[in-house]
Structure 1
Amino acid sequence: MINEEALGWVVRTRDPDFADWDAFTAWLEADPVHVSAYDAMMLADGELDSILPSDPVAMPPILPVPANDPGVRPRRPLRWIGGGAIAAALVATVSIAVLNRSDIYSVSTRPGETRVIALDDGTSVALNGGTTMRFDRKDARFAALDTGEAAFTVRHDAANPFRVTVGDTVFEDAGTIFNIVHTNAATRIGVSEGKVIYNPQAEAIALPAGRALAEDAQGLRVMDIAPAAVASWRQGQLVYSNAPVTQVAEDAARSLGLTVYFTPQAQAMRFTGTIRLDRDPARFLAQAAPLMGLTAVRQGDGWLLQEGPMKEGPMKEGNGPQS
C-alpha cells in the first residue's frame, strides 16, 4: 500500500500544474517509511528513458525544500506524460523497474539450511532456515528481512548506520550483534552486544545488550533476554524464558526443517529452558517433547505434539495430522 501511495505521488508531482505541496509534505512527514518509498520510486527516473516518448514536455524547475523538512533534498520531478492511460501504464512500469532493479538481490534458505552473507562493509548476516532477505549491491548498510530469522554482526559506523527493514519497521544498529525473527504473526529482536534502535524516526526505542522487543497481536513489548540466548541457534541450541511452545516449534522448524502440529491443549502451554538441536527429528523430539511436558507422535511427514509425558518405548506413530 505504501509503495502504491508513493507511486501516486511520483506521478502527481511530475505534473507541471501540481500545486498540492502541503498535502505531499504532510504525507512525507507522516512516516519515515514514506520518504524511503518515495525515494525508491524517484530512483527509477534514470530508467524511464526507454519508455518515455521521444519528445517529452520540458522539465519543470527543481522543487523547493519544505522549510520544516530538512531531511528531504530538492528533487527534480520526473518528466510528465499527459493522459490517464499513459500515466497508469507508467506507474506499472515504474513498479516493475523498482522491484527488478539489478542492484537489489534476494537470498533465501530452505528449512533446515543456513547461510552466511558477508557484506562489503565488514558486516556479516547469518540466515537461519526458511528465511528470505534482500540486500543492495550499491549499499552495504541496507538489509530487508522478508521472512524467517537472521543474526547480524554489524561493523559500527555512526556516520552511516546499518539499517534492517522488517515490514514497516526499521531497526538501526548502534554497534551491535543482534538476532531478528519475522513471521506472519510476530517480529522479535534480541540484542547480545551494543545497541539497536527500534524505528529511530518514530518510537526510537533503544535496545541495549540484554534487551529484547516483540511486536505481535498483543502490541509492542520490551523485555530482558540473556545475551547467550540471542541467536543461540547458531550454537546448536534453543534457549527460552516462558515462551509459547508454538514459538519453540516454529524455531525448530526453521533450524531442522520439521513440520509440527499441536493439539489445542498442548498449543496453550509455555516453556522455560534450553533444548539442544539435533538434525535427526526423532532424536530431537525424543528429548525436546518431554522437556516441554509433551508427547511427540509421528504424523506422516510431520509430528503431533500433545499434552502429557511420553510412555516408555519407541517414538509413537500416528495416522495423520489431527490439529
Structure 2
Amino acid sequence: MMNQEALAWVIRTRDPQFDDWDAFTIWLEGDPTHAGAYDALMAADADLEAIIPPEPVAMPVAANDVEPRRRPWRWVGGGAVAAALVAAISIGTLNRADIYTVTTQPGETRNIALGDGTKIELNGDTSLRLDRKDARFAALDKGEAAFTVRHDGANPFRVTVGDAVFEDAGTVFNIVHAGGATRIGVSEGKVIYNPQAEAIALPAGRGLANDEQGLRVMDVTPTAVASWRQGSLIYANAPVTQVGEDIARSLGITVRFTPQAGVSRFTGTIRLDRNPARFFAGAAPLMGLSAVQQGDAWLLKEGDAPQN
C-alpha cells in the first residue's frame, strides 16, 4: 500500500505542472517511512528506461478520428508502468549493490573521494549513503559531512537530508543532521535548498537551519563552516546544547548539561583536544561553565568551579 502511495506521488510530482506541495508535505510527514519510499522510487525512476519496453509503434488512425494525445511514460499512472516501477523497487533499488552506506563512529573522521572529483569529509557519528552508479548523489542520514563539490551545471550534485534536498552550484558546504534538526553552512559557491519547492539560494556566507524553531536563513562566517576539519569549533551566539552535540560528535564522548547551563549561548572558538580532561579544562570556562566527569560522560554546569 505504501509503495502504491509513494508511486502516485512520484508520478504527480514529476509533472511540471504539479503545484499541490502542501498535500505532498502532509503525506511525507504523516509517516517516517514515507520519505524513504518516495526517495527510493525517485531513484529507480532513472533506471526505468531499461525496465519498461519502448512504446509500441502507433496504429494507423482513421482520417476522421482524433489521434489520442500521447504523454511521456513517466507521467502515466497505474497499469504496467506502475507495476514495473514497484517491481523495480522491490527487487532492485532498495537492495541493489550500488547503493552503499559509509559510517563513522563517534570521534572518528573519514574522507571520501568520488569519481567525479567531489570530496566528502565525514565527522564522527555519521551515516551517509552513496550510489556507485551516480557520483552526483548523496543522502545524509545522520551526523555531519563537509562537501567540496566539482560543479557541473548540467548534472548538479544533490544531497538529500530527510525530505529536504540541497543542490550545489559549485560549492563547499557543511551539513549537520542530528536530533531531528538540520543545519547547513556555505563557505564557497552556492547551494539551493529544495530547488523544486522553496528554492532558497544560499551563497557563500549564508546558512540555513530547520529545527524546532522552524526554517530560517542566517549569516555565517565562511571560515567557521566545517571548522572541525581544522581542529576547532567556531560559533556566533549558538546554543551551548548545539556546542555540546558538536563536541560529542567530534571527540566521541557524551556531554550533558544542567537545566540552567543548557539554556545559555556561546560565541567564540574552541580548540578540539582528544584528551577530554584537558579539553574541558579550557573549553568549559570559555562557555562560562564548569565541567564534571561522571563515569564516561561529562556534565557541564553553571559557574566556573574547578573540575572534580
TM-score (norm 1): 0.76
The one-character-per-residue Cα deviations of 1:281-317 (angstroms, maximum 9, x if unpaired) are 1111111111111111111111111111023xxx31x
Matched with 1:269 is: 264
Task: Verify: 1:40 aligned to 2:46, yes or no.
Answer: no
- CA gap of 1:137–1:77, structure 2 versus 1, over 3 A, is farther
Whole-Å separation in 2 of the counterparts to 1:77 and 1:47: 17
- Aligned residues: percent identity? 65
The runs of 5 or more residues in structure 2 that have no matched partner are 25-34, 58-68
Amino acid at match of 1:270: R
The one-character-per-residue Cα deviations of 1:204-254 (angstroms, maximum 9, x if unpaired) are 111111111101111111111110000000000000000000100100111
- CA gap of 1:96–1:293, structure 2 versus 1, over 3 A, is farther
Whole-Å separation in 1 of the counterparts to 2:13 and 2:121: 42
Task: Verify: 1:5 aligned to 2:31, yes or no.
Answer: no
The one-character-per-residue Cα deviations of 1:83-129 (angstroms, maximum 9, x if unpaired) are xxxx9xx9699446422111111100000000011000000000000
Whole-Å separation in 2 of the counterparts to 1:277 and 1:72: 50
Contact kept, 8 Å, 1:109 with 1:131, in 2: the verdict is: yes
Contact kept, 8 Å, 1:190 with 1:225, in 2: the verdict is: yes
Whole-Å separation in 2 of the counterparts to 1:193 and 1:137: 26
Matched with 2:117 is: 122
Whole-Å separation in 1 of the counterparts to 2:9 and 2:229: 44
Shift of 1:258: 1.0
* 3-state SS of paired residue (1:247): helix
- CA gap of 1:40–1:162, structure 2 versus 1, over 3 A, is closer
The runs of 5 or more residues in structure 1 that have no matched partner are 11-20, 50-57, 82-86, 317-323
Whole-Å separation in 2 of the counterparts to 1:229 and 1:146: 23
The one-character-per-residue Cα deviations of 1:164-214 (angstroms, maximum 9, x if unpaired) are 101110001011100000012310000000111111111111111111110
Task: Verify: 1:99 aligned to 2:102, yes or no.
Answer: no
Describe how 1:286-301 pairs up with structure 2 within 5 A: 286-301=281-296
- CA gap of 1:61–1:309, structure 2 versus 1, over 3 A, is farther
* 3-state SS of paired residue (2:153): coil
Shift of 1:30: 3.8
Task: Verify: 1:170 aligned to 2:165, yes or no.
Answer: yes
Matched with 2:154 is: 159
* 3-state SS of paired residue (1:40): helix
- CA gap of 1:130–1:96, structure 2 versus 1, over 3 A, is farther
TM-score (norm 2): 0.80
Whole-Å separation in 2 of the counterparts to 1:142 and 1:102: 15
- CA gap of 1:96–1:265, structure 2 versus 1, over 3 A, is farther
Matched with 1:131 is: 126
Shift of 1:80: 7.9
Amino acid at match of 1:65: R
Amino acid at match of 1:160: N
Give the number of aligned pairs.
284
Whole-Å separation in 1 of the counterparts to 2:207 and 2:229: 18
Shift of 1:162: 0.6
C-alpha RMSD over aligned residues: 3.7
- CA gap of 1:277–1:48, structure 2 versus 1, over 3 A, is same
Whole-Å separation in 2 of the counterparts to 1:23 and 1:225: 33
* 3-state SS of paired residue (1:283): helix
- CA gap of 1:161–1:294, structure 2 versus 1, over 3 A, is same
Whole-Å separation in 2 of the counterparts to 1:76 and 1:59: 17
Contact kept, 8 Å, 1:244 with 1:269, in 2: the verdict is: yes
Matched with 2:240 is: 245
Matched with 1:15 is: none
